[in-house]
Amino acid sequence: NAGVTQTPKFQVLKTGQSMTLQCAQDMNHNSMYWYRQDPGMGLRLIYYSASEGTTDKGEVPNGYNVSRLNKREFSLRLESAAPSQTSVYFCASSEGSGSGNQETQYFGPGTRLLVL
């Protein structure tokens, strides 16, 4: 049981390049999330998916797109990377009861992205 996994662990991009960050969970969770973490700013929600086939914007969605490929996988895409997107990106998942009550979120190990 690996929990939440992310690839790659580290990536360097040039401004304007594109890339996709991958996330997968093996806990049969319904909800999945993408966060970015910047120094002094905590974790900020980029996008989330309450269930397979649905996605919604979070606090900082500009410059990103997501795909909930199936129940296990939730990818984050940067179409044209900018230096402001240099950050550590965390994926998370939770059971997601759909009742409005939050369940524990479990985080992946993170992807460190540097945009030059």
Q: Which residues bind another protein (CB under 8 A)?
A: 31, 33, 40-45, 48, 50, 58-59, 90, 94, 96, 100-110
Q: How far is the CB of 115 from another protein (least distance, A)?
A: 20
State which residue, 17 or 30, has the beta carbon closest to another protein: 30
For the bound state, the minimum distance from the C-beta of residue 43 to another protein, rounded and expressed in Å, comes to 4
Helices H / strands E in the chain, number of each: 0, 11
The residue among 17 and 103 lying less far from another protein, judged by its C-beta, is: 103
Residue closer to another protein, measured from CB, 16 or 98: 98
Look at residues 113, 76, 111, 109 and name the one whose alpha carbon lies nearest to residue 5. Answer: 109
SS3 85: helix
Residue 44 vs 71, nearer CB to another protein: 44
Read off φ and ψ for residue 83, nearest 5 degrees.
Answer: -55, -30
Tell the smallest beta-carbon distance from residue 51 to another protein (Å): 11
Place of tokens 């997601």: 96
* Min CB(28)–another protein separation in Å: 17
Tokens 């996330």 found at: 23
37 within 8 A of 45, measured Cβ to Cβ: no
